[in-house]
Amino acid sequence: MDVFDDICGVMDVICPMHVMLNSNGDIIHAGPTLAKLWQGEGYQNTRFLEMFEVLRPKAVTDMPSLLATTGHKLHVRKRTDPKTTLKGVLMPSSVSGGAVVNLSFGISIMDGVRDYALTSTDFAATDLTIEMLYLIEAKSAAMEASRKLNLRLQGAMIAAEEQAFTDTLTGLKNRRAVDFILPRLIEKGTGFALMQMDLDYFKAVNDTHGHAAGDHVLQHVARIMVEETRDEDCVARVGGDEFVLIFDGFTNRGALADLARRLIQRIEVPVPFEAIVCNISSSIGIALSRNFPLLDDAGLMAAADAALYASKRGGRAQFQFASDLENIAASITSSTETLSELSEDISSRHGRSGPLS
């Protein structure tokens, strides 16, 4: 019995999760950490296989088959809640008259420390469990930091993209934005209006009064366009004094004519800048997507552009709708001159879609 006590004392320190079994397979001693699995109740005279179900190898149901696993890895599960899974290995031993089984939590360690409130002293000094728990926490913290960095980078990327879709002088959208939106609207196929607008006499303002005056006028015009349109409309500056407005789902001819008229009226109001006053106006061409079902974004832009040139040729400060005649599609790629003539031709045939009355 002295030898048994002596061995148990040694095993309790170097393998605190071991059990000693007698020849019947009864537990006659358990290491201090493993004893915590009984959660306060004594383990004395419990049979090992009553306490644990052997998951692997299969068909271990009695002491002889348990002994047959000697030296091989065992997977066992506690039969009562929490059904902790453990791994272990059995070796026959004359000290206990049966066998010694050493167990470990393996991968279920996180649940194990929580379920049984284990502390550092529950593990052998040579056991790497504490280091593993340390690593799990350290890596989680590092991953969390990394995740946050990724989120911030993603935010910065979205902000950068947003900026790239914005005209920095006026705060309106830019050509990139139009190129992005237009094909998607065509794809969606729900109908929209595309408005092209050029400022009249803007070059004169720039040449006579300088760029500062020109910039001021552009910002002023941008403000008017934003005020006259809905939040969901796309208002973009696509060139020096060229603008594109896209109205998703707003295709009523009369309402669009009203809007164009209002824009021209407001833009014609002289703009004071320092000691001078700038006088400009604007010409507009409007294309309705439903009238050009066969055109892509470039074609639709060209159609609106053709109408815009018709307005210019018609004496500026006016707007035109692009014709819905089928043959315009074929003519769109022709020269500006031809397009203007065509538009003029169309205007005379259909009557002017009125400049200011």
The binding site for other proteins (CB under 8 A) comprises 110, 113-114, 117-121, 130, 133-135, 137-139, 141-142, 145-146, 148-149, 152
Measured from the CB atom, the residue of 120 and 252 that comes closer to other proteins is 120
Minimum distance, C-beta of residue 152 to other proteins, in the bound complex (Å)? 8
CB of residue 127 to other proteins, shortest distance in Å: 12
Asked if 122 and 115 count as a contact pair (C-beta separation under 8 A), the reply is no
Q: In the bound complex, what is the minimum distance in angstroms from residue 159's beta carbon to other proteins?
A: 15
Query: How many angstroms separate the Cα of 347 from the Cα of each of 87, 98, 317, 353, 354?
Result: 89, 108, 16, 8, 10
CB of 166 vs other proteins, minimal distance in Å: 23
Q: Map the chain to HEC letters.
A: CHHHHHHHHHHHHHCCCEEEECCCCEEEEECHHHHHHHCCCCCCCCEHHHHEEEEECCCCCCHHHHHCCCCCEEEEEECCCCCCEEEEEEEECCCCCCEEEEEECHHHHHHHHHHCCCCHHHCCCCCCHHHHHHHHHHHHHHHHHHHHHHHHHHHHHHHHHHHHCECCCCCCECHHHHHHHHHHHHHHCCCEEEEEEEEECHHHHHHHHCHHHHHHHHHHHHHHHHHHCCCCCEEEECCCCEEEEEEECCCCHHHHHHHHHHHHHHHHCCEEECCEEECCEEEEEEEEHHHCCCCCHHHHHHHHHHHHHHHHHCCCCCEEECCCCCCHHHHCCCCHHHHHHHHHHHHHHHCCCCCCC
- Given the complex with other proteins, which of 122 and 167 has the nearer CB atom? 122
The tokens describing 266, both together, are 């407001």
Nearer to other proteins among residue 68 and residue 135 (C-beta): 135
Question: Cβ 118 to other proteins, closest distance in Å?
Answer: 6
* Interhelix angle 211-228/253-268, nearest 10 degrees: 150
The residue among 10 and 153 lying less far from other proteins, judged by its C-beta, is 153
* Shortest separation between residue 14's beta carbon and other proteins, angstroms: 17
For residue 294, is it left (φ>0), alpha (ψ between -120 and 50) or beta?
A: alpha
Q: Which is nearer to other proteins, 118 or 257 (CB)?
A: 118
Residue 117 CB, nearest approach to other proteins (Å):
7
Minimum CB distance to other proteins smaller for 131 or for 326: 131
Smallest separation, CB 111 to other proteins (Å):
8
**Of residues 95 and 109, the one with the C-beta less far from other proteins:** 109
Closer residue to other proteins, CB minimum distance, 154 or 327? 154
Q: Which is nearer to other proteins, 7 or 118 (CB)?
A: 118
Q: Residue 112 Cβ, how far from other proteins at the closest point, in Å?
A: 8
Between 73 and 148, whose beta carbon lies closer to other proteins? 148
Instruction: Give me the least distance between CB of 168 and other proteins, in Å please.
Output: 21
Q: How far apart are CA 287 and CA 292, in angstroms?
A: 8
